[in-house]
Amino acid sequence: MRKGISDLHEYDSARLWERYNLKPEQMIDFMGLKGDPSDNIPGVPGIGEKTALKLLHEYGSLDRVLASTPAMKGKLKENLELYRDQALLSGNWPQSDVGLTNLISIGISVCWGGHLIMSG
């Protein structure tokens, strides 16, 4: 285990649903919205865990959130429009070969064999 990571939690689909009300495949969209500064995943500025969860519960996916942006208001709309590409890239990075390799090597959120391994 890497130094600094002392508390790991394993989430299967049921536990993920219990804690976040999200399906495993929604975690990529969750990361795309909220990001993770400690792992250099930028996400959308101004969107934290609560807002990302609210948006995913309402719209179901990052693509649907972004498609619904014109109907939104205020800073949320502004940031989603301004950082749209960043949200998409942040959500896709963990799925890439390089991203998956880095996630595994540093021990952060990884969907593997139906289980989500999260640090923190």
Tens of pLDDT along the chain (120 residues) come to: 444 555 666 777 888 889 899 888 888 899 889 988 777 788 999 999 999 999 999 999 999 999 999 999 999 999 999 999 889 887 665 554 444 444 444 444 444 444 444 444
d(CA 101, CA 72): 36
Buried b or exposed e, range 63-73, using 16+ CB within 10 angstroms: eebbeeeeeee
Q: List all residues 6 or more positions away from 44 whose beta carbon is below 8 Å from its beta carbon.
A: 32, 33, 34, 35, 79, 80, 83, 86, 87, 90
Q: Which two tokens stand for residue 35?
A: 């990001």
Residue type, 58: E
Q: Which domains does the chain have, with CATH numbers?
A: 8-119 (1.10.150.20)
